[in-house]
Each structure stands twice: as C-alpha cells, then as structure tokens.
Amino acid sequence: MKNFFKNRGISLVFLAVVIVVIMAASSALMGGRANVISNVVGVVTLPAQKALTGFAGWVGSIYSYTYEYDALKAENESLKKQIAEMEDSVRQAQYDKEENERLRELLKLSQQHRDFDFESATIVSRSSSNWTASITLSKGSSQDVKAGDSVVTETGVLVGVIVEVGTNWSTAVTVTDPDTELGALIFRTGEAAIAEGDFELMSSGKLKLTYLPEDVRLLNGDLIVTSGRGGVLPSGLIIGTVDEVKTDISGLTDYAVITPSVSADSLTQVFIIKSFDIVE
C-alpha cells in the first residue's frame, strides 16, 4: 500500500484535483442542482441510508422500550389518575350546572310567587311497594317540613304532597298515588274539577280528572293546575295535561286521563313549599 502511494502519488493527486475541479465546475454550472458525482453517490447511498435510519429507529425504540418502560408506565398511571380526576370534575361540573339551572328556574318561580317559602330536598328513595307511588325526601321536621306541604320542581310542576315527616326525612305521595286528591282547575276554561290518583292508571304513571263540570269541552293537551281552593295547596301549580276523556264504569259520568307534567322517576332534586299565602 505504501509503495502504491509512493509510485502513483502524483497521479492520485492529479486525479483528485481533476475531480475537485469537475465538481466545482459542475456545481457552478448546475445552478443549485446536485452535480453528477453527488447525484450518483446520493442515488446509490439512499437505500442504504434509509435502511440505516430504519435500523437506528428500531434500535432507538428498543432502547426506549427497555430503558423508558418504567417511566412510561408511571406516567401512564399518573395520566390515568389525572383523567379520572378530570372526569370526576366534569361530572361534578355537570351536576353543578344542572343544579344551577334548576336554581335559576326556581328563582323565576320565586319571583312569580314571592309568598312561597321553598326548601330544597333530594329524593333519597322511591316506592318500595307496588301498591303506592311515593318518594322519600332528604328534609324533615328539622327544616320545618310538615305533612300537607307540596313538593314541586323548579318550574312549579307539582310532584306530590308530603304525608309523613321524620326528623331529617319525609315521605311524599306523588300525584299518581291512589290516595292523592287535589283541587284542580282546567287552565283554559277556568273550570274546577278534582285531580285524583287511580290504582289502575298509577302503573302507567297517569291520574284522573273527575267531577268534571257539565258540558265541559276538554281538549287534548289542556293544562290542569291546582285550584288552591281550601288553602291546602297553593294555586297555579302545574299538575299535567289532558290525555283523553273516558266514561266511567257506570256509564254516567266522564273523567279525563291526565299525564303528569313530570315523572318522579326522572327527578333527583325537588323543592318543598313550606308556606304560601292563601288566596280564596
């Protein structure tokens, strides 16, 4: 090898100078494009470079997998925890938002009925019997809740009436319970009737409107509200809408089937009206 360079050193230097001159000249002439030699070298080495890059990437991933696995696992656990916390926050925010909406609606109702004294309550359980329709609420005599108080939604829809009160709980029968009997008004005509629970209709979540005035013409969707007569319940609480008119088993009198405007099954929070002004 030493002799090779000694014998042909000048030739090699000359060859190198020629190559450099050709490359410099072609670079100057090609105007930014790769010269022939560079191009040939690039074309030939590209697949090898690609293969090398791929190999390096694979080695890198193995390295990462080997040496960073524990760190990634810990990070994954931490992220999972963060996601769970964030999901919890979102759920809480959703709950707060819904509660906020209910309270805003309640505010409107409070402004319409400044005489109402509300107590917010949560429904803690529903009927445990197939023969009644009742709910248990989270407020009782400690909060001045009394038997006979009405239970409404934030929009003033009647859910039921308190029938039993404990220290920190109370039971309300819903409007569909067979024991429920309410003074009612047909909102469109202003005529009075009685809204009462019916055992047969209870299973379908409906109730009856009885003692209908003579010659009354009920329309499908007529709104039924509490009359407030007798001072037991406030007036104007929404009970439901007329579904259909039927004739009772004796064939002598008609009654209307009412669909309540709210089902207790769909509620979590209600409001107890503890006191109100009696308007006769």
Partner 1 sequence: MLALLLLFVAQTMLLNRFTVFGVYPLLLPIAVAAVGSFEGSAAGAGFGIAAGLLCDAAFYNTDGFYTAVFMLTGLLSGVVAEYVLNPGFLSCALCSLGALAGIDLVRGLYYIMAKDAPVRAVLAVAGPEILYSLFWLVPVYLLVRSVYRRVGGTRLA
CA distance 71 to 155: 53
The stretch among 59-67, 70-78, 172-180, 218-226 that binds partner 1 (CB under 8 A) is 172-180
Q: Is 173 in the site for partner 1 (CB under 8 A)?
A: yes
The stretch among 78-86, 90-98, 197-205, 218-226 that binds partner 1 (CB under 8 A) is 197-205
Q: Is 134 in the site for partner 1 (CB under 8 A)?
A: yes
Residue from 130, 251, 252, 280 in contact with partner 1 (CB under 8 A): 130
- The minimum distance between CB 200 and partner 1, in angstroms, equals 4
The stretch among 13-21, 31-39, 122-130, 237-245 that binds partner 1 (CB under 8 A) is 122-130
35: buried, middle or exposed (CB in 10 Å: 19+, 13-18, 0-12)?
A: middle
| Alpha-carbon distances, residue 9 vs 19, 79, 210, 242, 265 (angstroms) | 15, 66, 122, 112, 100
Q: Is 232 in the site for partner 1 (CB under 8 A)?
A: no
Residue from 23, 34, 103, 163 in contact with partner 1 (CB under 8 A): 163
| Alpha-carbon distances, residue 259 vs 196, 229, 268, 275 (angstroms) | 12, 22, 20, 27
CA distance 236 to 113: 10
SS3 150: strand
Q: Is 264 in the site for partner 1 (CB under 8 A)?
A: no
Q: Is 179 in the site for partner 1 (CB under 8 A)?
A: yes
Q: Is 50 in the site for partner 1 (CB under 8 A)?
A: no
Q: Pattern of binders to partner 1 over 64-83, x per CB under 8 A?
A: --------------------
Please report the beta strands in the chain, taking only residues with DSSP state E, as ranges in sequence order: 117-126, 134-137, 150-152, 158-165, 170-174, 181-186, 191-196, 207-210, 223-226, 238-247, 254-260, 269-275
Strand (E) or helix (H) holding 16: helix 2-30
The count of residues interacting with partner 1 (CB under 8 A) is: 20
Specify the residue for token string 């920190």: 168
Tell which positions 242-261 bind partner 1, by CB under 8 A.
Answer: 249
Ramachandran angles phi, psi of 113, nearest 5°: -125, 80
- The minimum distance between CB 81 and partner 1, in angstroms, equals 30
Nearer of residues 174 and 269 to partner 1, judged by Cβ: 174
| List of residues contacting partner 1 (CB under 8 A) | 125-132, 134, 163-164, 171, 173, 178-179, 198-200, 203, 249
